[in-house]
Amino acid sequence: MDKGIDSNVDKVISNIYTNENVYATGRVTRVNKYNIEVSGLNDVSFYEAIDVNHKASGYVMGIYANKIIVSLVEINEEIVPGDIVYALKKEFKCLFSPDSMGKVIDIFGHDLIAGKSFEKTVEVPLENPTIPIMDRTAVTREFLTGIIGIDLMYPIGKGQRQLIIGDKKTGKTQIALDAIVNQKDKKMICIYVAIGKTKKEVKDIYFELTKRGAASYTIVIASFNDELPTRTYLTPYVATSIAEIFMMQKYDVLVVFDDLKKHADVYREISLTSKKTPGRDAYPSDIFYTHSRLLEKGAQHIGGGSITMLPIVETKSGDITDYISTNIISICDGQLVLSAKSFARGEKPAINYGLSVSRLGGNVQTPDMKKVGSKLRRELLSYLEVRSVYELANIDEMSKELQKKMRDGKVMVNKLKQYKFSPRTKEEMKAEFAFLFEESTDLEKKINDSDGTHSSSDGNYQEKDHSNTSLNIEKN
């Protein structure tokens, strides 16, 4: 008994001598924006939480023989070399409160609109391990956005990652907000992640969602453009860890990342600051992995829950073939491409139907929607293609079939226009496009009756006369 106490006392004393009492400590030797070097801290683990003299906090991101590198995520006061550093003997984690629903929060358990900390919080890891292949099941359940062009032609399923990509001011965020608002009474939890946005933008979005009654099931997790890049960088990962908590409790979760181009730029800044060798466009070599491991958390889990992801990427002058865009396109299960041209024409939502893709397609639609959707998509794409070739031709001189196609095409494009926050139900969508089926059967009958004479577009074009075209223009 005595021996036990003795050995305990000896252990504590020896711990004090070796700085292993409660917290290990070291000293700051170098400060570089949000990375600091610390010496004297020997017994730390990778990603351990670190406190710098109550002035700043962060985590271990490098361990060397004679120093460690700490990445800071919160700096309240200026740090100077010589400041004492505490290793907190636990993995660095963020905080999340179960009371966050309907609030704008950050990743440290603060309610930003009320300007205070939550009372009840749970710890959330920065990242969880990847979801194993065998813990996933097929993505088959529909996720309805209420937008006709999406739900019918480029459907999204629960557990799908669908990219929204386009230039500034083409309505990218609006599509995501429409999708959130349409989840009312659908038992979805929505998480809107603002990455490096302005405070004004975030407050606008928050009010918009509250006004539309979406706040009761939505959490806005925000990082602002004037915050530490390290914090902005972590925000989408922590948001995903939060989404995973819900998924494991069998909830269906929607996560919107607005936007990942900004995230890539922030990560580039961090990498270059820590002197990593740059690759294409000065992005670090692991920029793909940065986004792939984030977006791979979008899944239909075998337990029943799911995480649907709508990442947003901003492009310049409509170029979706730049490095970051193609990376993220190659990770996602499809993309909705928004076009500035359609936007200017008033064809809103300004979806470029030719470039948009859903890799899951009909798999996530109910048979009735699939039937209308695949027909509409075929007809519309074929119209859009024909339109570009025959735009200059006189419609009166066209074959009956082509005339019909041009007329139907215009109707389709008009019917796809939709105001913001005016979701349609599946029934409304199907009813709108029922005409595709009625008339096409009529058309086929007509062609059969006339023994295919109308179906040869060659014949009709040969008679075309140039003077007719100009005459027609004058009449108009």
Partner 1 sequence: MQMVGKIISIFDISIEVVLSSDNVKVGDILEVVDDPNYRFEVVEISNTSATCISLGSTRGLKKGLDVKILSHGIHVEYSDKILGRIFNSYGIPIDKRKIESVKTRRTDHPTTTLQELNIESQILWTGIKVIDFFAPLQKGFKMGLLGGAGVGKTVLIKEIIHNVYTSLNSNAIFTGIGERSREGQELYSEMKKSNLLDKMAMVYGQMGDNPVSRSKAVYSGLTMAEYLRDEKKQDVLLFIDNIYRFIQAKAEIATELKQILIGNGYPSDMASEMSKIEERINSNQNGSITSVQAIYIPADDLTDESVQTIMSYMDGQIVLDRKVAELGIYPAIDVFNSTSKLVDVEKIGERHFSLVESVLKTLTRYNELEEIITVLGIEELSEEDKLIFYRARKLRNYFSQPMFVAEAYTGIPGEFVKIDDVLNDVEAILNGKYDDIDESKFLFIGKVS
* Residue from 172, 263, 297, 424 binding partner 1 (CB under 8 A): 297
| 357 sits near partner 1 (criterion: CB under 8 A) | yes
Count the residues of the shown chain that bind partner 1, applying the rule CB under 8 A.
Answer: 84
| 334 sits near partner 1 (criterion: CB under 8 A) | yes
Smallest separation, CB 48 to partner 1 (Å): 8
| 363 sits near partner 1 (criterion: CB under 8 A) | yes
* Residue from 71, 240, 315, 327 binding partner 1 (CB under 8 A): 327
Of 14 and 422, CB closest to partner 1: 14
Burial readout 419-432 (b: 16 or more C-beta within 10 A, e: otherwise): eeeebbebeebbeb
| 121 sits near partner 1 (criterion: CB under 8 A) | no
The answer to whether the beta carbons of residues 215 and 269 sit under 8 Å apart is no
Of 212 and 293, CB closest to partner 1: 293
* Residue from 1, 389, 419, 473 binding partner 1 (CB under 8 A): 389
| Dihedral angle, C-alpha 165, 168, 169, 174, nearest 10 ° | 40
Smallest separation, CB 366 to partner 1 (Å): 13
- Which residues in 83-138 belong to E strands, given as ranges? 84-91, 93-96, 104-105, 110-111, 116-117, 122-125
Binding residues for partner 1 restricted to 250-289, rule: CB under 8 A: 276-280, 283-286, 288-289
Out of 359, 378, 407, 424, which one is annotated catalytic?
359
Catalytic residue flag (residue 424): no
Smallest separation, CB 224 to partner 1 (Å): 27
* Residue from 62, 98, 303, 304 binding partner 1 (CB under 8 A): 62
Of 91 and 208, CB closest to partner 1: 91
Smallest separation, CB 281 to partner 1 (Å): 8
| 63 sits near partner 1 (criterion: CB under 8 A) | yes
Of 119 and 458, CB closest to partner 1: 458
Residue 90 makes CB contacts below 8 A (sequence gap 6+) with 48, 49
Distances (CA, A) of 362 to 142, 352, 370, 433: 10, 19, 5, 17
| 7 sits near partner 1 (criterion: CB under 8 A) | no
Residue 400: Cβ within 10 Å count: 16
Binding residues for partner 1 restricted to 71-90, rule: CB under 8 A: none
Q: How far is CA 151 from the centre of its chain?
A: 17
Of 285 and 425, CB closest to partner 1: 285
Binding residues for partner 1 restricted to 179-238, rule: CB under 8 A: none
Angle subtended at Cα 327 by Cα 159 and Cα 148, rounded to the nearest 5 degrees: 45
| 390 sits near partner 1 (criterion: CB under 8 A) | yes
| 91 sits near partner 1 (criterion: CB under 8 A) | yes
Distances (CA, A) of 94 to 42, 242, 407: 24, 10, 57
Give the integer Cα–Cα distance in Å for 429 and 419.
14
Length in residues, the chain: 476
Smallest separation, CB 432 to partner 1 (Å): 20
Give the integer Cα–Cα distance in Å for 373 and 316.
30
| 385 sits near partner 1 (criterion: CB under 8 A) | yes
Give the integer Cα–Cα distance in Å for 333 and 347.
25
| 371 sits near partner 1 (criterion: CB under 8 A) | yes
| 136 sits near partner 1 (criterion: CB under 8 A) | yes
Give the integer Cα–Cα distance in Å for 271 and 278.
8
| 131 sits near partner 1 (criterion: CB under 8 A) | yes
Q: In a 10 Å sphere around its CB, with 0-12 CB exposed, 13-18 middle and 19+ buried, how is residue 356 labelled?
A: buried
Give the integer Cα–Cα distance in Å for 179 and 427.
17
| 370 sits near partner 1 (criterion: CB under 8 A) | yes
Smallest separation, CB 3 to partner 1 (Å): 27
- Which residues in 227-316 belong to E strands, given as ranges? 252-258, 306-314
Catalytic site positions = 359
